[in-house]
Amino acid sequence: MAKRVQLVLNQDVSKLGKYGDLVEVAPGYARNYLIPRKLASHVTPGLLKQVERRREIERQRQLELKQQAEAQKATLENVSAYSIAMQVGENEAIFGKVTNQDVADAIKAATGIEIDRRGIDMPDVSQLGTYQASVKLHTDVTAKINIQVVAS
């Protein structure tokens, strides 16, 4: 079996790693594909220091993003319920559907915080009432909010 070669990626390479990752690959893959296309470089002590510095900067950035998400979570959960007005038919059944975008708009109107609609997890809403939704603000931070569906 041939010896593996250590390289540092200069760009994201699918199924291998992201920019700045230290990877071990087969010598032929490194020699014939990664290095000629400048997707990776041979490992040197100076390059290892740069990689460590980049990792530390990225770790600090992720920590800062998590702290911002925690602050947003506290703000979102302080509001007792976000109100969404819908047209109502018989037996308090609503016309249409309460979408994630409706929830994001209600949050923005109430708190001024802009939330990505794709991070909102809503139950199916078919009648008036109070429902609980979860808002993913960060990979580790999820806020639970109450949605009040009222007649318009």
Compute the distance between CA of residue 31 and CA of residue 16 in angstroms, rounded to an integer: 15
Residue identified by tokens 């911002």 is 68
Same domain, residue pair 76 and 58: no
Model pLDDT for residues 99-121, shown as the tens digit of each residue: 999 999 999 999 999 999 999 99
Distance of CA 137 to the CA centre of its chain: 7
**Is 94 exposed, middle or buried (CB count within 10 Å of its CB: 0-12, 13-18, 19+)?**
buried
What's the CA gap between 103 and 122, in Å, rounded? Answer: 9
> pTM value?
0.70
pLDDT at position 19, please? 87
Domain with 59 in it: what CATH number?
Answer: 3.40.5.10
Within this chain, do residues 78 and 114 fall inside the same structural domain, yes or no? Answer: yes
pLDDT at 1 over 70: no
Indicate which CATH number applies to the domain containing 141.
3.10.430.100
Half-sphere CA count of 121, side-chain side, radius 13 A: 7
User: Are 13 and 54 contained in the same domain?
Assistant: yes
If you average pLDDT over residues 138-143, what whole number do you get? 92
Distance (Å, whole) CA 48 – CA 88: 63
pLDDT tens string 8-35: 999 999 999 988 889 999 999 999 999 9
Average pLDDT taken over every residue of the chain: 91
Indicate whether 87 and 136 sit together in one domain. yes
The tokens of 147 are what?
A: 């949605």
Domain, as residue range, for 22? 5-65
58 and 78 inside one domain: no
Q: Could you read off the pLDDT of 39-90 as tens digits, one per residue?
A: 999 999 998 898 889 889 989 999 999 999 999 999 999 988 999 999 998 8
